[in-house]
Chains A and B, each alone.
Chain A
């Protein structure tokens, strides 16, 4: 039975309003987020998010560190997409100082940043299934992500907080010879001591993973229960998404065709020139009939489609890499003085547009280092989005925004 107004469920029996704290320790709030719910029975009248539990004064710390020293702090903001955060800040410094990055470094950045996007969206998909009570997609997502983390470990030595992209390029080149990641050997039936180049291992992983995406769709996207929980719920119209500063998959799920890889500033878009890829935007032709433009399902499906496009980009970039000119970096000395100028740059991170605003004053340390968080803006829409829904829909709506508290609180 479809009810137009969920409040009718209460059958005109007025109950007292109740204040319920959801979080900060709650498994479905993706970290330390506290939602104060004003409920009438099962129906939500008002949601007020309380944030700041993970505030680490990253911006104040940034005023006392030179850019290469602040790179590790950007990792710890969005810890599920550290590579993309490094890239955003490195590009901002390059824009401020006018550093030209060689072609090889740009291709390398596309490979790694898109691989990071795949890893991040896998967690997004798995955790969203978990929020809605479906456990197995989470296991598959982490099995795949594990191999990506192994590949990152071979590149830079770290598995979560990489500090890999620095102003001027990256810290290391792709390794020539590696031992096959254990997970990959097991899944593809190779010997555990097999040695191969990093790019061969990455290709092997992509070849193995591409057909698996269909399985995720069977497990989750087309699952009848999943569709019931997501389609038509948490509908965010186009104007609301723009007004609340939503970006990334949340914005594209509301039907705004905007991706900074294509529409951003030249310093960022030139990295992605000459590649054949699409920007997935809702509405989708193959959406279930219950789906409405801007609902939970659309936001989720944009992410799933982005994984396919990211894999396409990685393959093209790896084909370009051997012939790419120049080195994987240009040197950037530790104590390099920043010019007396300021700049702002946004890049397309998996969760939305991450912006860095840096003011230099002639010292090595910036005068002001500001990180504009994409999840911060995406979360601000929860209040109006959750009015009149049922309590059980809150995890579905918050999960579909795919927030990381480390980035919101900085």
Chain B
């Protein structure tokens, strides 16, 4: 099943308010899903026999903020969660995206919230912990949202574009 067919299927099931866009003019076409619907959409894609996406190949976050003032086409600031799905039954793949503001309600420091899909695929548990740790996204409904790669008492989220490296950590001097 092609990504455009998956998109048609989702549009019929969830409507245009949940399935925001389909981007086909790219190397791997992707479907943009509204943040509040992502868990339901994933559950549907996982369970429906036509799609049966039984594996989550990758889940990662990306921070879109142009720090270069001279850039000609700066991107609108936002944070993305990218889902790469695969089906071992049908041997097809799909790519989903969720876009949320960089900070919840424009309050710097308040992490944006995306519903967790860890109940759909068990591996999403660790991937979401990593996205929380490095990119700074809160996955609501996650059973154990702790840092995974950085130490528990680390401050900030390193893959944020405006992340400032700490000058000191437990007596270790940085920079």
Contact = CB atoms under 8 A, between A and B. Distances in A.
Given A341-B26, A343-B28, A409-B149, A245 B60 contact: no
Contacts, number: 83
Interface stretch (A151-159, A208-216, A355-363): A355-363
Most buried by A among B27, B62, B73: B27
B84 A355 contact: yes
Contacts of A263: 91
A348 interface: no
Given A343-B27, A353-B57, A357-B60, A51 B148 contact: yes
Interface residues of B, number: 34
Determine the main DSSP class of B at the interface with A: loop
Most buried by B among A51, A340, A377, A410: A377
A277 interface: no
A264 to B, nearest CB: 10
A52 B149 contact: yes
Contacts of A377: 123, 126
A381 to B, nearest CB: 8
Given A55-B150, A242-B55, A344-B28, A357 B121 contact: no
Given A357-B82, A380-B125, A258 B88 contact: yes
Contacts of B75: 361
Nearest to B58: A372
A340 to B, nearest CB: 8
A370 interface: yes
B51 to A, nearest CB: 15
Contacts of A367: 62, 64
B151 interface: yes
B122 interface: yes
A64 to B, nearest CB: 11
Nearest to A96: B27
A362 B73 contact: yes
Contacts of A55: 149-150
Given A51-B149, A52-B150, A96-B27, A380 B126 contact: yes
B88 A60 contact: no
B56 interface: yes
A359 B121 contact: no
Interface string B91-121: 1000100000000000000000000000001
A376 interface: yes
Interface in A47-71: 51-52, 55, 57, 59-60
Interface string A337-373: 0001111101000000101010101100001101010
B55 A357 contact: no
A275 interface: no
A382 to B, nearest CB: 11
Interface of B: 26-28, 54-58, 60, 62-64, 72-73, 75, 82, 84, 88, 91, 95, 121-123, 125-126, 130, 134, 147-151, 158-159
Interface of A: 51-52, 55, 57, 59-60, 95-96, 242-245, 256, 258, 263, 340-344, 346, 353, 355, 357, 359, 361-362, 367-368, 370, 372, 376-377, 380, 384, 409-410
